Amino acid sequence: MPSLSARALASQLGEWRPHGTTPLYEALADRVRLLILDGRISLGTRLPAERLLAEHEDLSRTTVAAAYARLRELGFAESLRGSGTVARLPRSFDDGAPALGESAGPGIIDLSKATLTAIPLVAEAAREAADLLPAHLHESGFDPVGLRVLRQAIADRYTARGLPTTADEILITLGAQHAIALITRTLLSRGDRALIEAPSYPHAVEALQHAGARLVTVPVTTDEGWSNEVLEQVMPRTAPALAYLMPDFHNPTGRTMPDEQRQRLQSLAAAHGTVLLVDETMAELGFGRDDQPAPFAIGAEQRGATVVTVGSVGKSIWGGIRLGWVRGDRDLITRLSLARLAGDLGSPVLEQLVLLRLLDSYDRVLAARRADLRTGHSLMIAELEQRFPSWAVPHVDGGLSLWVNLGAPVSSQLALAARAEGLLIGAGPRFGIDGAFERFLRLPFCHPAEHTLRALDLLELAWNRVVQREPLVASDEVLAAVV
């Protein structure tokens, strides 16, 4: 049975102590409950002993005991003889708000996922792919590299965008997340340092942690983007084996890295032996600019940098198309194709044919998606500024979501209050490590208008509950603060 030390739990709790009249035990229980709901504490994990957590957090043991009792009362913990207190979900949870990664139940509005709904073209492409399938039935049906015709189509898109690419430099994967996990476990050894952005895509962070990496961070803000000063300090000091980046319409801040900064980062990576793992799943979703960002890997070879690019159509077409790809040099593609055999034998042929048909219309799809995102962004901005005037709401020119500053460290409280109203939202700490970003909330603007408006109605109710329970002080200093 996995166990969580008092120190490890404290690092995830962050700023959990209430500023108002909420009892300490209840605030502690609420924070642990959110960690369980968000999957940051795995089900079946043994929580720290009451005495050890009390000592670490400078609390009375009675307070911790009351918090654990509250968790058991709500069904989020269970006492097992000889095992202490173990994280659980309520038995009736299927009728309530799901944990992160589960489908929303009846009556639940999900604003925790930044995904677009499918387009009719997906069904049309599936029918056309079925017609192409007989030509492949004599084959094994699985291939660790992918259909050459699909790899060539993806390579051609890179070439058209200014980065000459061949089919042998493309590997088809089971989505972008599969690609990230495959790369991290292939290129990293336990104990290697890995650089990540803060905030960052949660599942990429998890992939790095599962590979045994020691994480170092570089901040990304909605105002300044990536810190050159930190990059110049961190890269030489830590010489990370790998750096995970999302330089185009960064999730969750929406920032895009300037060309000169990309070039400097390539030079730093080359000087210190760092492989740059670049997530370009958002790269062609710019709606507020005349041009789209060029592939990050342009110029990398001349600077001696190793860039591995991950892409997919999960964000641009539909998350149900569970295919992605890796672009890298031929030796790396061969290495990855061999390494994946331990976990899967290849990507499904029929889905690859669906993707192949979709790529024929990809530019037309992207144009329509950008128009929809432009409309959704305008709606979300207007509604947030009207409903929540104390929040700092950034404007972005691409991507799927906003990284909103609430003005006070209450993101987890708001997420719990929203769940009670039937709304799932992504609390800021989900996008950081060690409990950071309690002042922030990620809000997608990529959903249909009626979905967004209903979600904001519920969010408004939840915010009012938080404000009434914990009076907030919104000053310029607080609004600018970053946890």
Average pLDDT of the residues in 437-449: 94
Q: Tell me whether strands 170-173 and 324-327 are parallel, antiparallel or unpaired.
A: antiparallel
426 close to 112: Cβ distance less than 8 angstroms: yes
As given in the structure block, the two tokens for residue 305 are 């940098």
Distance between CA atoms of residues 360 and 38, nearest Å: 38
pLDDT of residue 106: 58
What does the mean pLDDT of the chain come to?
90
pLDDT of residue 41: 85
List, for residues 287-336, the tens digit of each pLDDT value: 998 888 999 999 999 999 999 999 999 999 999 999 999 999 999 999 99
Location of structure tokens 């909420």: 22
Distance of CA 88 to the CA centre of its chain: 24
- Lowest-confidence region among 38-52, 85-99, 139-153, 340-354: 85-99
Determine what percent of the chain is predicted with pLDDT higher than 90.
73
pLDDT of residue 139: 82
255-258: long-range pairs with CB below 8 Å, 24+: 255/220, 255/221, 255/222, 255/225, 255/226, 255/396, 256/225, 256/286, 256/293, 256/397, 256/398, 257/225, 257/226, 257/296, 258/225
List, for residues 116-159, the tens digit of each pLDDT value: 999 899 999 999 999 999 998 888 877 899 999 999 999 999 99
**Domain annotation for the chain: domains and CATH numbers:** 6-91 (1.10.10.10), 98-114+364-480 (3.90.1150.10), 120-360 (3.40.640.10)
- Lowest-confidence region among 11-25, 107-121, 384-398, 413-427: 11-25
Q: Which amino acid is at 137?
A: L
Nearest to 352 by CA among 149, 157, 181: 149
For residue 401, what are the β-bridge partners? 444
Angle between the N-to-C axes of helices 6-13 and 50-57, in degrees from 0 to 180, rounded to the nearest 10 = 50
94 has a pLDDT exceeding 90: no
List, for residues 70-79, the tens digit of each pLDDT value: 999 988 999 8
Q: Tell me whether strands 214-221 and 423-424 are parallel, antiparallel or unpaired.
A: unpaired
Average pLDDT of the residues in 408-434: 90
- Residues whose CB is less than 8 angstroms from the CB of residue 20 and which lie 6 or more positions away in sequence, other chains included: 469, 470, 471
Residue 180 sits at the vertex; the CA angle it makes with 325 and 145, to the nearest 5 degrees, is 35
Exposed, middle or buried by CB within 10 Å (0-12, 13-18, 19+), for 352? buried
- Positive/negative CA dihedral, 425, 76, 92, 468: negative
482 has a pLDDT exceeding 50: no
pLDDT of residue 15: 78
3-class secondary structure, 162? coil
- Positive/negative CA dihedral, 445, 449, 451, 452: positive
